[in-house]
Amino acid sequence: MSTTIDEATATASNTPCCSLTAGPIGAAQAERLAEMLKALADPTRLRLLSHITAQGCQEVCDCDLTEELGITQPTVSHHMKKLVDAGLITREQRGRWAHYSVVPEAFDQLRNFLDLS
């Protein structure tokens, strides 16, 4: 469970070039990319993500997100876990609060893949 982040970042840096124009991709790579995209492919998670990136990865506690999106706290917790497991954001527990920050490498990898050049 705790190795998902490491795996994601590791595979992200291991991938040399994975553009859509570089020929057909294999089943394994498709599976990995689909996992990241699946984590993104939800309106609520996109909004949660945008709230994190908008605040410059500063103090972001789940209670604020709960109020602003109109969803319950377990739902926020569930979505955050999905984003973390996909390697898109990281979670750092400081005292009682959880601080989230994005993983730029993951987004680089996705943008790289979606690049038709």
Q: Which residues bind DNA (CB under 7 A)?
A: 38, 41-45, 61-63, 71-82, 91, 95-98
Q: Whole-angstrom Cα distance, residue 25 to residue 34?
A: 12
Beta carbons of 66 and 72 less than 8 angstroms apart: yes
The residue type found at 34 is: A
Nearer to a copy of itself, 1 or 27 (CB): 27
- The nearest distance, CB 114 to a copy of itself, in angstroms, is 5
- The nearest distance, CB 90 to DNA, in angstroms, is 12
75 contacts which partner out of a copy of itself, DNA, none, CB within 5 to 8 A by kind? Answer: DNA
Q: Residue 87, Cα to own-chain centre: how many angstroms?
A: 5
Nearer to a copy of itself, 14 or 21 (CB): 21
Beta carbons of 62 and 80 less than 8 angstroms apart: yes
DSSP assignment of 5-54: HHHHHHHHHH-----TTS-PPPHHHHHHHHHHHHHH--HHHHHHHHHHHH
- Where does this chain bind a copy of itself (CB under 8 A)? 20-27, 30-31, 33-34, 37-38, 40-44, 46-47, 49-51, 53-54, 68, 102, 104, 107, 110-111, 114-116
97 contacts which partner out of DNA, a copy of itself, none, CB within 5 to 8 A by kind? Answer: DNA
